[in-house]
Amino acid sequence: MQKLELQWKQINIDLRAVDAKLRSEYPSYKGNQAANCLELWFEEMPSQEDQDTIKAYWEALDESSSEAVSYKSEAQLEIEKQNKKLSAKAKLLALGLSEEEVAALSL
């Protein structure tokens, strides 16, 4: 097995999406591994041209990429859930419900 190392990005990337893209375009691609960098594993090392293409794809990923937008960590999902609960509670209080009535709704 041969590996190609890519530097981590400062944004969240859905590695499943990256994995699916690489599997569809590079038959010798066998998977990835998270370490100090992103390690891409190949049965045979891709040509230099393919390596450059893969690196350019990785470098081009940014906040607007579907691979970045589609991924949220469990912690991020939990924060969003809590924020939605707080927002709903604030709206109910603004509509005139009491704290006890809002609490009874199990928000």
Of how many residues is the chain composed? 107
Kindly state the DSSP code that residue 38 receives in the 8-state scheme.
Answer: E
pLDDT at residue 13 is higher than 80? yes
The C-alpha angle with vertex 92 and arms to 76 and 77, in degrees rounded to 5, equals: 10
The answer, as to whether pTM is greater than 0.85, is no
Which residue did the predictor score with more confidence, 10 or 21?
21
Alpha-carbon distance values, 29 to 25, 32, 39, 45, 90 (Å): 9, 9, 11, 9, 50
Q: Average pLDDT, stretch 57-66?
A: 92
Q: Average pLDDT, stretch 38-57?
A: 96
Q: Average pLDDT, stretch 46-71?
A: 91
Q: How confident is the model at residue 107 (pLDDT cuts 50, 70, 90)?
A: low
